[in-house]
Amino acid sequence: MSYPYQLKSFEDYQQAWQHSVTDPEGFWANVADHFYWRRKWDKVLEWDFKTPDVKWFSGARLNITENCLDRHLGTLGNQPAIIWEPNDPEERHRILTYRELYNKVCQFANVLKNNGVKKGDRVCIYMGMIPELAIAVLACARIGAIHSVVFGGFSAQSIADRIQDAQCNLVITCDGAFRGAKDIPLKSVIDDALMACPSVKRVIVCTRTRTPVSMLKGRDVWWEDEIKQVETMGNPPVPAEEMEAEDMLFILYTSGSTGKPKGVVHTCGGYMVYANYTFINSFQYKPGQVYFCTADIGWITGHSYIVYGPLSAGATTLMFEGVPTYPDAGRFWDIVDKFRVNILYTAPTAIRSLMGYGLGPVNHKDLSSLTTLGTVGEPINEEAWHWYKDQIGKGKCPITDTWWQTETGGIMIAPIAGITPEKPGYATLPLPGIQPILVDETGKEIEGNGVNGNLCIKFPWPGMIRTTYGDHERCRTTYFSTYENLYFTGDGCLRDEDGYYRITGRVDDVLNVSGHRIGTAEVENAINMHAGVVESAVVGYPHEIKGQGIYAFVIAEKQVKDPELTRKDIMQTVSRIIGPIAKPDKIQFVSGLPKTRSGKIMRRILRKIAEGEMDNLGDTTTLLDPAVVEEIKTGRL
Ligand code: WTA
């Protein structure tokens, strides 16, 4: 494959960016011309941020899997599409060539069809990081079913909420998943979830851990048995379903400032073009390179930069089942060494945690294959940036610090690796097609450089969110109503003297814990479910490894006799309701919360206390009971 739209120099980038602003339709049409469409578009872009109503490539017809698989078979059929490294380094890795992946996707697409899945149906996927997860995702896309992947760390309750919201009728899962020393019983979690999900008629279970599972007659079938059946049928070919560019491709749930996660919807045409364009450019992928993104496919990073971006580019994408510290903190480096990885894309949390183990696990690993390093998910502190640059990249690999969101579908602000002059801690400059703007609280644009503001985007890009599933109004109020005619990201941002962007973190009630987005309201709702809790308030505080930790202030029903035990109980409750990633790091029992006279919790004050900035609480005179602040300060953990 060649990439005619890959940027080759900084001048190239500047010209492309300029072109994308003066003639966005012409710019994106040029890129889109290099894909396989069954029918080309009538109109490149129609948009209105008020409704919002955004359409890219209207009238075009395609199937994303023909772009990720079929079109590569002639030239790249025998090239590795997916390299899979298991959790246990003693187990054999697997390599799927483009042809093998194509065959497996077609086979499983047949399985889905045999189980009654049709175009437009929603399919929930709850699996560990095994190749079958990517196969399941692509098989859905092949027949026009809408996948909703739920991260393997979410609880039964969270899965049930997501399945109900999307009204899924089929679930694909595994008996269990290996993650480090743990063995997660995925099927049993699904069984619990499905008690509340009558819409689900069928569960397909893939074997991985051989954990004993209960198979419900008439509902549950084994992946392997279903494949055998397709083989008996002689593996009939599965023509890819012809989709409209604006047909839904997938739903992915993400946290916001209100309680319920929302189903971010991405569509076929624009998302494909954007995931591909940003992959090829941000990482400067060269044909034949091995690319390793350490994310889980349960998050947007895995969707765009393990599956759709790399595969649409004919790249070799490495999937890793395990965790960075198993069996020891050198695991990433072993994988780089073993497969001669060229591009590594990971999260600042992982870097900070591995830094903590010193250079022992890095030394004596051959990292000379690395050409490019990427980070995503949260702001990267300078110390971690330099460690990554010097110890992993040996000073010779560019770092691309990529800022983006579930809602943006792909990378928005990031250096073009090796081309954009980098600056530690900065996502640097917008990619072509992206028009960032900083605004103040009133929505007034903050012009010039050396300024801080709320980050918005003022023009559509092909990968952007189209709606929140089943509730378009929610999409409008969350993203398009805070500031008129702008997409609001929820992030604060600095534009420095050079015009470089540095994301400073969320300005809403969303936490970023180890790169995972968690709504404070969600955690509060979970804590409040505990029988002994009257009320709670949750804020973030700086955490050395996780970036942000979760600090919960809890009013208990009666005097807490054994705080340690009650804390554990509350954590267990949060784990049950959301998942272990949302467990508070600190729980402080308080007798009251700082509220205004109208009953609103003043989180600003709690945040300051959690951060340890006690002398700097700001105005507390509007509080109903200022004395409560003193008590909270004294009891701070
Ligand atoms: C944060 C992950 C600083 C940001 C792809 C954003 C970042 C949220 C960066 C989206 C970065 C992501 N620097 N902050 N390079 N990348 N963020 O939806 O607050 O899981 O709004 O998407 O992560 O998280 P999400």
The CATH number of the structural domain formed by 10-357+372-492 is 3.40.50.12780
Name the nearest CA neighbour of 473 among 29, 1, 52, 14: 52
The residue type of 354 is: L
CA 439 / ligand 1 centre spacing (Å): 19
Question: What's residue 120's pLDDT?
Answer: 98
Substitution site in 262, 378, 426, 502 for ligand 1 pocket (most atoms within 8 Å of beta carbon):
378
Substitution site in 381, 401, 404, 413 for ligand 1 pocket (most atoms within 8 Å of beta carbon):
404
Is 159 in contact with 150 (CB distance < 8 Å)?
Answer: yes
Is 139 in contact with 117 (CB distance < 8 Å)?
Answer: no
Name the nearest CA neighbour of 518 among 377, 620, 351: 377
Question: What's residue 294's pLDDT?
Answer: 98
Q: Whose CA is nearest to atom 25 of ligand 1?
A: 405
- Residue 379 CA: nearest ligand 1 atom is 3
Tell me how crowded residue 587 is: count the other CB atoms within 10 A of its CB. Answer: 26
Name the nearest CA neighbour of 262 among 539, 521, 570, 551: 521
* Extents of the domains making up the chain: 10-357+372-492, 514-635
pLDDT of 130 strictly over 90 = yes
Q: Tens digit of pLDDT for each residue in 528-583?
A: 999 999 999 999 999 999 999 999 999 999 998 999 999 999 999 999 999 999 99
Confidence label for 259 from pLDDT (cuts 50, 70 and 90)? confident
Q: Whose CA is nearest to atom 15 of ligand 1?
A: 403
CA 402 / ligand 1 centre spacing (Å): 8
pLDDT of 625 strictly over 90 = no
CA 503 / ligand 1 centre spacing (Å): 9
CA 401 / ligand 1 centre spacing (Å): 10
Question: What's residue 78's pLDDT?
Answer: 98
pLDDT of 585 strictly over 90 = yes
Question: What's residue 483's pLDDT?
Answer: 97
The residue type of 434 is: I
CA 478 / ligand 1 centre spacing (Å): 17
CA 376 / ligand 1 centre spacing (Å): 7
CATH 3.30.300.30: does it fit domain 514-635?
A: yes
309-312 LR contacts (CB < 8 Å, sep 24+): 309/275, 309/276, 309/278, 309/279, 309/280, 309/410, 310/279, 310/285, 311/68, 311/69, 311/81, 311/101, 311/138, 312/35, 312/64, 312/67, 312/68, 312/272, 312/275, 312/276, 312/279
Burial 46-85 (b: 16+ CB within 10 A, else e): eeebeebebbbbeebbbbbbbbbbbbbeeebeebbbbbbb
For ligand 1, is residue 104 a contact (CB within 6 Å)?
A: no
Is 402 in contact with 411 (CB distance < 8 Å)?
Answer: yes
Q: Whose CA is nearest to atom 24 of ligand 1?
A: 405
Q: Whose CA is nearest to atom 10 of ligand 1?
A: 405
Confidence label for 110 from pLDDT (cuts 50, 70 and 90)? very high
Name the nearest CA neighbour of 324 among 300, 303, 344, 299: 344
* Measured torsion, CA atoms of residues 344, 349, 353, 358, in degrees rounded to the nearest 10: 50
pLDDT of 619 strictly over 90 = no
For ligand 1, is residue 506 a contact (CB within 6 Å)?
A: yes
Contacts of 77 (CB under 8 A, 6+ apart): 97, 98, 99
Is the pTM here over 0.95, yes or no? yes
Question: What's residue 616's pLDDT?
Answer: 82
Question: What's residue 237's pLDDT?
Answer: 85
How far is residue 292's CA from residue 282's CA, in Å, rounded to a whole number? 14
CA 489 / ligand 1 centre spacing (Å): 10
Question: What's residue 331's pLDDT?
Answer: 98
CA 538 / ligand 1 centre spacing (Å): 20
For ligand 1, is residue 270 a contact (CB within 6 Å)?
A: no
CA 50 / ligand 1 centre spacing (Å): 24
pLDDT of 183 strictly over 90 = yes
Question: What's residue 260's pLDDT?
Answer: 86
For ligand 1, is residue 406 a contact (CB within 6 Å)?
A: yes
Domains 10-357+372-492 and 514-635 share a fold: no
CA 505 / ligand 1 centre spacing (Å): 8
For ligand 1, is residue 514 a contact (CB within 6 Å)?
A: no
The mean of the pLDDT values for the chain is 97
* Strand stretches in 277-435, DSSP E: 290-293, 316-320, 343-346, 372-376, 399-402
**Phi and psi for 59 in degrees, rounded to 5?**
90, -15
pLDDT of 256 strictly over 90 = no
pLDDT of 621 strictly over 90 = no
How far is residue 351's CA from residue 339's CA, in Å, rounded to a whole number? 20
Q: Whose CA is nearest to atom 12 of ligand 1?
A: 377
- Residue 489 CA: nearest ligand 1 atom is 21
Question: What's residue 620's pLDDT?
Answer: 81
Q: Tens digit of pLDDT for each residue in 321-345?
A: 999 999 999 999 999 999 999 999 9
Percent of the chain with pLDDT over 70: 100
Confidence label for 257 from pLDDT (cuts 50, 70 and 90)? confident
How far is residue 539's CA from residue 636's CA, in Å, rounded to a whole number? 13
DSSP 8-state symbol, 574 = H
Q: Tens digit of pLDDT for each residue in 498-507?
A: 999 999 999 9
Q: Tens digit of pLDDT for each residue in 408-465?
A: 999 999 999 999 999 999 999 999 999 999 999 999 999 999 999 999 999 999 999 9
Is 256 in contact with 525 (CB distance < 8 Å)?
Answer: no
For ligand 1, is residue 362 a contact (CB within 6 Å)?
A: no
Confidence label for 617 from pLDDT (cuts 50, 70 and 90)? confident
pLDDT of 1 strictly over 90 = no
